[in-house]
Amino acid sequence: MNLRRRIRYCYVQLRRLPGDPRRIAAGMALGVFIGVTPTIPFHMISALAIAQLLRISRLAAVMGCWISNPITIPPFYYFSFKIGKWLLYPEHPLSLPETFDLRELLRLGWEVNLALQLGGVILAAPFGVAAYFITLKAVQRYRQRRTSGDNRALPLAQDTLPPSRLDAP
């Protein structure tokens, strides 16, 4: 199965999830938000736990975490770090110390991680909001089309017969 078909399949599965469309969209938004943040070993676990606590779609939350993949992780982490560094340390360069000092390396690691996490949360917020509204619209539109299609299964048209000779003037 090629990538385009796999993405299409996941999209169709998402639209067909049972439940309230707002809960499905909230699950997707949560998953995308967590997927963009730099917490890579804990994406799915934290998405499942938070979705369970908030009583939103756990499956949609896991599907939203799939935004984090080998293609998207480098730009997400790069921009997360740049945003966090710009906000936390605008004048302070984050560079390796000239001599090997464990205390300085730990301080640098803490600063880099803090910048990465803060930047990740800021970068993830618009992605999560966009995912909510896109998913909500997709699920609602799918369900509306499905219900209107069911109503058209047995059309009751009034003018399907040709006019009779008695109707002619």
pLDDT digits (tens, 9 = 90+) for 119-143: 999 999 999 999 999 999 999 998 8
Average pLDDT over residues 45-57: 95
Domain boundaries, the chain: 3-146
Task: Tell me the C-alpha distance between 31 and 51, whole Å.
Answer: 9
pLDDT, greater one: 90 or 27 = 27
Min mean pLDDT across 35-44, 50-59, 125-134 is at: 35-44
Q: What is the model's pTM? A: 0.77
Residue 154 has pLDDT above 50, yes or no: no
pLDDT digits (tens, 9 = 90+) for 71-104: 999 999 999 999 999 998 888 777 766 777 788 7
- The pLDDT score that the predictor gives to residue 161 is 54
Spatial contact of 120 and 35, defined as CB atoms under 8 Å apart: no
- The pLDDT score that the predictor gives to residue 124 is 96
Task: Tell me the C-alpha distance between 32 and 130, whole Å.
Answer: 9
In this structure, what are the phi and psi dihedrals at residue 120, rounded to the nearest 5 degrees?
-65, -40
